[in-house]
Amino acid sequence: MTDTYPSDIDDYDPDESGAAEPNWSAMIYEVLNPEHTVGVACDRDGEIVGLHITDDACENGDAWLAAEILRVARLAHAKSRVGLRAEMEYKGSRPYTIDSFDLPTEASYRAMELAEFGRTA
């Protein structure tokens, strides 16, 4: 087995791997409820850039729909913050710097989604 990475991880430069750097500013983070009737998309800053509402969702009443939009929007915002953590890690930010922003990890996001929907991403 050939290893394409240097033995010392501190010497690893992701730009040398030939992979293009992700376009972080164009990243969109989407979350749909389990029924796929309500969905929210956030950009990398956590701002809502898209909303998906089916006719079936509208039939559940205004109070239910408002609560479901908020629930899904909270998760989409959290998912965008996981993306920010990934961006900071990719760009080489120190772990204590990342932790100072209180950004969720992928595992903590999955736990949030499991708690809300009873499923994982």
Residue-level pLDDT at 20: 82
CATH for 25-117, among 3.40.50, 3.90.470, 2.30.29, 3.30.1310?
Answer: 3.30.1310
Distance CA 51, CA 72 (A): 10
Q: What pTM was estimated for this model as a whole?
A: 0.79
Strand order in the sheet with 48-53: 28-32, 38-43, 48-53
pLDDT digits (tens, 9 = 90+) for 8-45: 444 545 555 567 888 988 999 999 999 999 999 999 99
- The ranges assigned to domains in the chain are 25-117
For 110, half-sphere exposure in the C-beta direction (CA atoms, 13 angstrom radius) is 5
